[in-house]
Amino acid sequence: MIESLQSLERIRIPYRLIVVEERKHRWAKAINEGLDKVEKGPALIIEDDISIPSDVKITESLLQEHDTIWSGLLLVGANMVGHGGAIISSDSNIHLIHGQYSELISQYPRTVDLLSGSFIYVPEAAWQISRPKTLPGLGWEDIAWQLELKKEGFKCRVLPLKIFHFCQMAQAIAPDAQQQIQANFGLIQKIMKDK
């Protein structure tokens, strides 16, 4: 977590910080508690296992669209993108964009259907319209929130920024994590079909 906080000096845009410590709270609950403290302005949601490399500078020139939620390329190794956004197919399946950084970087910036909730910048207009809701199982709360915001006209974009994600996921704290995650995925598929 110290590395995550130290790397925030590379962000040169206005934001209110919300750090998610998943071992203490569910994602949606932690975000809502943070947004209650923010009161106004854009929010940067960052999990405690994220680090921004020293050569990355996040400036206002990157954020030209105020109806857009954005993230960077989440790397899970030196050159491996674990999450470069996701696309929803016509049959409501979610296709995660991942692979070698050197092979993917030319495709960014890129508009996608979904982002990882591990590192997202959310404009005030978005979180004033809608807040994340706690789902009964585990995971997918960030996706459900983004689907709601997309119905309100917001877009999701991934910028060509390297962000390291050390992946200390909530699965480590729940013995039946896979079942809970699968239950919430069923809810997400229903939301996508109802859109």
Rounded CA-CA distance 26/134 in Å is 8
How many CB atoms within 10 Å of residue 8? 16
- Domain ranges within the chain, ordered by starting residue: 2-194
Sequence-ordered list of residues with C-beta below 8 angstroms from that of 189, at least 6 positions apart, any chain: 92
182/138 Cα distance (integer angstroms) = 8
With beta carbons less than 8 A apart as the criterion, state whether 109 and 157 touch: yes
Question: For 13-44, how does the pLDDT look when each residue is reduced to its tens digit (9 = 90+)?
Answer: 667 666 666 556 677 888 888 888 877 888 88
Q: What percent of the chain has pLDDT over 70?
A: 68
Are 22 and 170 within 8 A, CB to CB? yes
This prediction's pTM:
0.76
How many alpha carbons fall within 13 Å on the CB side of residue 53? 16
Distance CA 35, CA 29 (A): 10
Model pLDDT, residue 173 = 42
CATH architecture of 2-194: Alpha-Beta Complex (3.90)
The residues pairing with 69 across neighbouring beta strands, listed in sequence order, are: 156
The helix, strand and coil proportions of the chain, stated in percent and rounded to the nearest 5, come to 35, 30, 35
Cis peptide before 109 (omega within 30 of 0): yes
Encoding tokens for residue 179? 């079942």
Judge whether residue 94 has pLDDT over 70: yes
Q: What pLDDT was estimated at residue 187?
A: 54
Q: How far is CA 89 from CA 10, 77, 195, in A?
A: 35, 27, 13
* Strand partners for 75: 81, 164
8 A C-beta contact, residue 150 and residue 108: no
Residue 65 near residue 152 (C-beta atoms within 8 A): no
Give the chain's length.
Answer: 195
> In this predicted structure, what is the pLDDT of residue 108?
92
What element of type H or E holds 190?
A: helix 177-194
Question: Taking 70 as the threshold, does the pLDDT of residue 194 lie above it?
Answer: no
